[in-house]
Amino acid sequence: MADLIAVTFDDQNTAFELRAEMAKLQKEYLLEMEDIVVVTRDDKGKVKLHQAVNLTAAGAVGGSFWGMLIGMIFLNPLLGLAVGAGAGALSGSLTDIGINDKFMKELGASLPNGGSAVFTLIRRSTPDKVIARLEAFRGKGKILQTSLSKETEDGLRDFLEHMNDEPKA
């Protein structure tokens, strides 16, 4: 089972920096994420989701391949390519994996204008190594919501919300 962690920031750059660092940690096998999304609220109050993977584009690419292959069988690869790309893009745009978009938009509406949040679904991690690598984010964020145990959440909250304190966990 994956754990949800949502962290807010007063600016938007910090959220994107955290997402980039967490992607590096995943490449180094220190954590395994199911999903990570940056949610921003602009100065006019508009909430926007920045998905790590564009499912519409991925669906179009996959659909193009299969459509072209089927088109070659029926001697019309260009038509197959076009139909496959359209069908793949449609199916990709309708697919929602990971964290529910409606849920993130609702919580994103509570952000201050110009603020951001990072929503992460983590399958597993090596907490001591991950916390050490996220030292640059100490004191910069606030926990919005988690599905962690009370003890683990308190340790993460202390780390993110207090500049000079040592984390409990």
Q: Are residues 66 and 86 in the same domain?
A: yes
Which domain covers residue 71, as residue numbers?
Answer: 55-94
Would you say residue 166 lies in a domain?
no
19 vs 89, more confident = 19
Residue 167 lies in a domain: no
Strand order in the sheet with 47-51: 47-51, 31-41, 116-125, 3-9, 142-146
Q: What does the pLDDT read at residue 70?
A: 60
Residues 48 and 105 in one domain: yes
pLDDT at 155 over 50: yes
Do 44 and 106 have their domain in common? yes
Q: How many structural domains is the chain composed of?
A: 2
Burial class (CB in 10 A: 0-12, 13-18, 19+), 150: exposed
Map the chain to HEC letters. Answer: CCEEEEEEECCCHHHHHHHHHHHHHHHCCCEEEEEEEEEEECCCCCEEEEECCCHHHHHHHHHHHHHHHHHHHCCCHHHHHHHHHHHHHHHHHHCCCCCCHHHHHHHHCCCCCCCEEEEEEEEEECHHHHHHHCHHHCCCCEEEEECCCHHHHHHHHHHHHCCCCCCCC
CATH of the domain at 107: 3.30.70
Asked, for residue 75, whether it belongs to a domain, the answer is: yes
Instruction: For residue range 50-107, list pLDDT tens digits in order.
Output: 886 544 444 445 555 555 556 556 655 565 555 555 555 545 444 445 678 888 888 8
23 or 98: which leads in pLDDT: 23
Q: What is the pLDDT of residue 150?
A: 85
In degrees and rounded to multiples of 5, residue 62 shows phi and psi of -65, -45
- Residue 90 within any structural domain of the chain: yes
Query: Is 151 found in the same domain as 114?
Result: yes
Whether this model's pTM surpasses 0.85: no
Is 168 a domain residue? no
Within-domain flag for 169: no
Confidence of residue 11 (pLDDT cuts 50, 70, 90): very high
**Separation CA 52–CA 94 (nearest Å):** 16
Q: How far apart are CA 134 and CA 85, in angstroms?
A: 40
Residue 39 lies in a domain: yes
Torsion of CA 14, 15, 18, 19, to 10 degrees: -150
From CA 80, how far away is CA 65, in angstroms rounded? 9
Q: How far apart are CA 97 and CA 36, in angstroms?
A: 11
Residues 106 and 85 in one domain: no
What is residue 73's predicted lDDT score, i.e. its pLDDT? 61
Shared domain check, 107 and 46: yes
